[in-house]
Chain A
């Protein structure tokens, strides 16, 4: 039986602490959009602590809610930048 399509979620900094891990495989959502994927992340244990608006990158490029995700994509949830 073929494996269901997945994406790889990366969480950083405060968000990794909320979810308790830095990466995990998630099923490709239906519809396969960033917005739908973030909804599924909010449903994970700890995900309720995410703010109303979450910065997202798909394959290391910033993405919006309506952008599509494809099987094998690397989707990162990024806390507000605080470098320098």
Chain B
């Protein structure tokens, strides 16, 4: 399954990708569009991406997680215009125990945010827009 989608993200299918009879601990993360950023009211976000590079980097991150912990992981990131409250990104990790599931889930979302070529443009309540710069 590819990382990028333009459809609304559902958590249950993502969890179904990682669960198995021998993996009883499932950790998930959802990133929703928030209504504020650095003191400004946000009404929507527009996500854009470099798809070929995203898929290669994301596949590498998921493989790294599976190499570090005995888990199965899956992730999805939406592109296009999203309203406040919509799911932008989701990660699911399943392992035999909760420790590896939590750690792998955290690792994947942190690395996705750091390394995948995806950008977001914020639309503010006052009608202006701005490109989000990552925290240094």
Contacts and interface: CB of A to CB of B under 8 A. Distances in A.
Contacts of B56: 60-61
Contacts, number: 63
A60 B134 CA distance: 21
Interface in A7-60: 10, 12-14, 57, 60
A84 interface: yes
A74 B114 CA distance: 23
A61 B116 CA distance: 11
B50 A82 contact: no
A81 interface: yes
A78 B116 CA distance: 10
Interface in B16-74: 31, 47-50, 52-53, 56
B48 A81 contact: no
Given A12-B48, A60-B56, A61-B53, A83 B120 contact: yes
16 contacts: A13-B48, A13-B131, A60-B52, A60-B56, A79-B119, A79-B131, A80-B133, A81-B114, A81-B115, A81-B116, A81-B117, A81-B118, A82-B134, A83-B49, A84-B77, A84-B89
